[in-house]
């Protein structure tokens, strides 16, 4: 599911791509449904490509969202994204205890909570579906490669 959702630097909220041209993309806000153009010069990041730094590597954003979903029973975050730094850090430590405190800032946690709440409002809470589909596709591709070699 996160493979279809994107973030545009400098623009609030999350978006999904509606159409794509040579140098521009039309995106639709998940919050209000408004469509706007973004250009190739804008920094566009798909949520599936984002990971959170931990002491032992990186954790995909989908896994972090899944942990929040489990903690909150599928509801919005119990902590407000506008809360103080200490409260945000304390909440995130409950979600991901081994996150890298030197590389993940309270502003990152605030953004992550906002994104999660936007996705819950838009009823897009199946965070593991995309990875499962990709693993199945990758496995079937490898099987086809092996079959064709024999």
Residue ranges and CATH numbers for the domains of the chain are 2-47 (2.30.30.730), 51-129 (1.10.10.1650)
The answer to whether 13 and 29 have CB atoms below 8 angstroms apart is yes
Question: What digits encode the pLDDT tens for the residues 36-67?
Answer: 999 989 999 999 999 999 999 999 999 999 99
Q: Does residue 100 surpass a pLDDT of 60?
A: yes
Instruction: Average the pLDDT over 119-142 and give the result.
Output: 65
For residues 60 and 78, give the distance between their C-alpha atoms in angstroms, rounded to a whole number.
22
Q: How far does Cα 4 stand from its chain's mean position?
A: 10
**Which residues, in sequence order, are bridge partners of residue 26?**
19, 37
Question: What digits encode the pLDDT tens for the residues 9-37?
Answer: 989 999 999 999 888 999 999 999 999 99
Q: Nearest Cα to 114, choosing from 80, 66, 87?
A: 80
Cβ partners under 8 Å of residue 20, min gap 6: 26
Sort 121 into a burial class: Cβ within 10 Å, 0-12 / 13-18 / 19+: exposed
The answer to whether 76 and 93 have CB atoms below 8 angstroms apart is no
Q: What sign results for the dihedral spanned by CA atoms 82, 86, 87, 88?
A: positive
For residues 77 and 96, give the distance between their C-alpha atoms in angstroms, rounded to a whole number.
14
Q: What local confidence, expressed as pLDDT, does residue 137 receive?
A: 52
Strand ranges in the chain using DSSP code E only, listed in sequence order = 5-8, 15-20, 24-29, 35-39, 44-46, 51-54, 57-60
**pLDDT band at 129; cut points 50, 70, 90:** low
């Amino acid at each position: 599911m996160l493979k279809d959702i994107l973030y545009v630097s400098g623009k609030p909220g999350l978006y999904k791509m509606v159409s794509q041209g040579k140098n521009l993309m039309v995106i639709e806000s998940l919050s209000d449904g408004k469509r706007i153009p973004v250009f190739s010069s804008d920094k566009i990041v798909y949520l599936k490509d984002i990971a959170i730094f931990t002491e032992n590597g990186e954790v995909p954003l989908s896994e972090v969202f899944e942990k929040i979903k489990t903690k909150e029973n599928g509801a919005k975050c119990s902590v407000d994204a506008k809360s103080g730094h200490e409260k945000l850090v304390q909440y995130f430590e409950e979600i991901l205890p081994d996150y890298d405190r030197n590389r993940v800032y309270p502003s990152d946690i605030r953004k992550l909570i906002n994104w999660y709440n936007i996705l819950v409002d838009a009823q897009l809470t199946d965070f593991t579906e995309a990875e499962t589909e990709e693993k199945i596709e990758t496995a079937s591709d490898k099987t086809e490669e092996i079959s064709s070699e024999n």
